[in-house]
Amino acid sequence: MNKKNQKGFTLILSLVLLLVMSLMGGSLIVISSGDHQSNNTSDEYQQTFYVAEHALVEAEKYIINEMIGPWVDPQSTMRIVPPGDGASTEEMEAHANYLNSLQQQATLNGGFARHTDASAPWPLGRGTPVNINTGANTPCLNSFRNLIRNDDGDVMLAFHSWAQNWNFGELIRPILESESASVREIEHMQRYRWEFFVINSGSSNFKGAGTSLKKTSTNVQRQGTVFKIYGCGYLMPRGTDLDDIDNPEILIPLESVVILSS
């Protein structure tokens, strides 16, 4: 009679242990899945932050290029304006020679040349960008609550990149393809976008500095121009068009200040 009771107890104990181990195994699976999802989300936020930093770098490049001379296609640009009616023969010849020099440079630089003519005011010639453009109501611009708006509710900018396709995945696609990345990885990187805009905030003192300045040189303060630059990184939902920036899953806004010598 005792042996039969012991055999029944062993069966019950085995079932209880099996149930406990099953619950523990299921809990571990749930925890591991949650940790994996959390790590993926953290990685996506980090990548979006890097894309936003890239947007700030692109904004700085834009300002510097406009001041020293933007890269243009001499065959199609609207920034090289010929002399108007009443121009002298010398002015017409100078313009033709300048255009010819740009075309020669373009043949050596993939069809682009640096437009260094400052005779025409910016944005036709090179020069200091000023706030002549109305900012578009994009998620990036609307994420900055401290922007000054005019009576119509618009923000005046020197430049806004929203109208161009700034797809980070398309930018690095040649690198991904050269490393034999999978289609899934390429499609994932195409979900990242960037956007930037620039505001001319007026004049300020510019102070040159450096550790290798000659003894005869100086770093005395002189007049400069302050630019506030704003950049955003986007992570879009799966299946979004390559140029779409509406309703992002993740939006990281960053801002910085650049002072350049006038």
Cα 35 from Cα 38, distance rounded (Å):
5
Cα 145 from Cα 148, distance rounded (Å):
9
Mean pLDDT of the chain: 86
Q: What is the pLDDT of residues 85-128, one digit of tens each?
A: 888 989 899 999 999 999 999 999 999 999 999 888 899 999 99
Q: What is the pLDDT of residues 205-225, one digit of tens each?
A: 776 655 554 555 555 557 889
Q: What is the pLDDT of residues 231-256, one digit of tens each?
A: 999 999 998 998 889 999 999 999 99
Q: What is the pLDDT of residues 40-58, one digit of tens each?
A: 688 999 999 999 999 999 9
Domain-wise residue ranges, the chain: 53-69+128-262, 70-126
| pLDDT of amino acid 213 | 47
